[in-house]
């Protein structure tokens, strides 16, 4: 019976092409507006590493000005100092730990046909790779012993390897940065997390990952400056050593803690560390350490902005307007068939059968609009990518969003069809038979 009603609904669409087109286009536009904004919202706010996001924690220590918080109300700095990053790394109290900062590195390719270019790199520790799990195409990460030796080694992104070596296995080859040569130990495969969750402070959260990675100790030794965020509350004397010893915050520090018990232990360790530093005259503010996991940290940094949330609300409001128009069109369409409905009732059709027939017809309208709406959603996401290249990682439809679009279009059509269908069921058969 359902198949028969679907056939009747499709046949009804062909009988009234203009009216049907208006309803389908209305739902399609509403679905496209909703799914375009909802897809961006979903991509921005979804868990970027769900299998271990609860184990990765971002470290915050409040070494800021005793006369005022870094950010009100009472938020600690969003990075740590160099001296604290080094001290916590050397203590080694976490399961894994990675201090890091962004650097700018002028690369001089060996291939003469490739011009020198500036590459954005990341100085970090060996634990970065097992913690954040970027896939490798060739080779692998460096070791902790190479960190300690300040080795001149590098891991390249896939794109950088394409530029420098034409995409071939470059492990063991050399990369020249200024006058320093680095040996390639690994090449990453395609890695574009929707949100660059490991660094939403030093760079935009939807930027591409870095082009190459070098050991943290090496970058400090050769005096590579940061190109990320840098905040100071005291005047810093001139000189590199004074800067490294200052209270300026410019380092990110992540730790991996596998269990709640390990999290509790590390929290105690951080508190004890700050209390010891207080005895040395540092950390003059009240104890205010933070250990956010990945999702809490992204929420704290407002990666999904208020503007995006408002856009989603406006898109659903627009869908509501489209549904009101669809209700009026469906009501007009069903009421024009009052004679047909009355005849069917007189021949024995129940109100439930009339209700099912017309509700399924509304569902056919909704699914047709949903199919067109999906195409328009793809077009809308493409236009956003063209207008803002920084959002290219979050403007794609995935399986859950496609399923959501189908479900939303069906639900929207059924909601729009409830009142017109109920009115169709209330048609008195005797009255319409007398007028025919």
Return all residues near 405 (Cβ < 8 A) that are at least 6 apart: 31, 35, 370, 373, 374, 377, 397
Please tell me the distance from the alpha carbon of residue 230 to that of residue 226, in angstroms, as a whole number: 8
In the predicted model, what is the mean pLDDT of residues 49-62?
94
Please tell me the distance from the alpha carbon of residue 135 to that of residue 173, in angstroms, as a whole number: 20
pLDDT band at 256 (very low <50, low <70, confident <90, very high): very high
- Residue 18 is predicted with a pLDDT of 74
- Residue 52 is predicted with a pLDDT of 93
Q: Where are the beta strands (DSSP E) in 251-409?
A: 252-256, 290-293
Of 57-66, 162-171, 198-207, 295-304, the least confident: 198-207
Please tell me the distance from the alpha carbon of residue 88 to that of residue 277, in angstroms, as a whole number: 12
Of 124-128, 162-166, 398-402, the least confident: 398-402
pLDDT band at 350 (very low <50, low <70, confident <90, very high): low
Please tell me the distance from the alpha carbon of residue 34 to that of residue 27, in angstroms, as a whole number: 11
> Helices 351-387 and 2-15, interaxial angle, to 10°?
60
Which DSSP string do the residues of 147-177 spell out, in sequence order?
Answer: HHTT--EEEE-HHHHHHHHTTS--TT-EEEE
Residue 276 has pLDDT above 60, yes or no: yes
DSSP tag of 397: -
Q: CB of 2 within 8 A of CB of 383?
A: no
DSSP tag of 114: S
Question: Mean pLDDT: which of 103-112, 116-125, 201-210, 386-395 is highest?
Answer: 116-125
Between residues 27 and 339, the one the model is more confident about: 27
Please tell me the distance from the alpha carbon of residue 185 to that of residue 166, in angstroms, as a whole number: 17
The dihedrals phi and psi of 185, each to the nearest 5 degrees, come to -105, -15
The dihedrals phi and psi of 289, each to the nearest 5 degrees, come to -80, 150
Return all residues near 343 (Cβ < 8 A) that are at least 6 apart: 429, 432, 433, 436
CA-to-CA separations, 325 to 331, 391, 417, in angstroms, rounded:
10, 33, 11
Please tell me the distance from the alpha carbon of residue 30 to that of residue 25, in angstroms, as a whole number: 9
């Amino acid at each position: 019976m359902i198949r028969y009603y679907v056939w009747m609904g499709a046949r009804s669409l062909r009988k009234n092409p203009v009216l049907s087109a208006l309803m389908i286009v209305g739902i399609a536009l509403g679905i496209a507006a909703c799914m375009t904004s909802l897809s961006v919202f979903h991509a921005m706010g979804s868990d970027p590493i769900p299998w271990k996001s609860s184990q990765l924690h971002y470290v915050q220590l409040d070494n800021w000005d005793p006369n005022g918080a870094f950010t009100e109300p009472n938020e600690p700095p969003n990075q740590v100092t160099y001296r604290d990053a080094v001290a916590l790394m050397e203590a080694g109290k976490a399961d894994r730990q990675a201090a890091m900062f962004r650097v700018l590195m002028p690369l001089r390719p060996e291939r003469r046909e490739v011009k020198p270019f500036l590459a954005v790199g990341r100085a970090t520790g060996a634990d970065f790779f097992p913690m954040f799990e970027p896939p490798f195409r060739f080779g692998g990460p460096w070791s902790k012993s190479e960190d300690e030796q300040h080795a001149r080694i590098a891991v390249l992104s896939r794109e950088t390897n394409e530029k420098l070596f034409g995409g071939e296995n470059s492990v063991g080859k050399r990369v020249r940065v200024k006058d320093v040569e680095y040996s390639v130990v690994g090449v990453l495969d395609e890695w574009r997390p929707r949100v660059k969750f490991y660094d939403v402070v030093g760079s935009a959260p939807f930027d591409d990952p870095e082009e190459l990675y070098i050991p943290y100790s090496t970058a400090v030794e050769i005096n590579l400056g940061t190109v990320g965020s840098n905040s100071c509350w005291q005047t810093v004397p001139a000189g590199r050593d004074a800067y490294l010893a200052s209270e300026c915050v410019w380092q990110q520090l992540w730790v991996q803690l596998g269990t709640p018990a390990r999290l509790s232990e590390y929290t105690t360790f951080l508190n004890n560390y700050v209390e010891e530093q207080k005895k040395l005259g540092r950390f003059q503010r009240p104890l205010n350490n933070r250990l956010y996991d990945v999702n809490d940290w992204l929420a704290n940094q407002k990666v999904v902005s208020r503007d995006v949330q408002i856009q989603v609300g406006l898109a659903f409001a627009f869908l509501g307007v489209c549904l009101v128009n669809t209700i009026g069109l469906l009501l007009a369409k069903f009421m024009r068939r009052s004679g047909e409905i009355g005849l069917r009732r007189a021949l024995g059709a129940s109100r439930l059968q009339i209700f099912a027939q017309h509700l399924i017809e509304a569902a056919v309208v909704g699914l047709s609009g949903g199919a067109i709406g999906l195409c328009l959603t793809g077009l809308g996401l493409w236009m956003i990518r063209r207008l803002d290249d920084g959002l290219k990682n979050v403007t794609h439809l995935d399986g859950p969003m496609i399923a959501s679009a189908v479900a939303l279009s069906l639900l929207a059509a059924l909601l729009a069809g409830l009142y017109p269908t109920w009115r169709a069921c209330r048609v008195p058969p005797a009255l319409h038979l007398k007028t025919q």
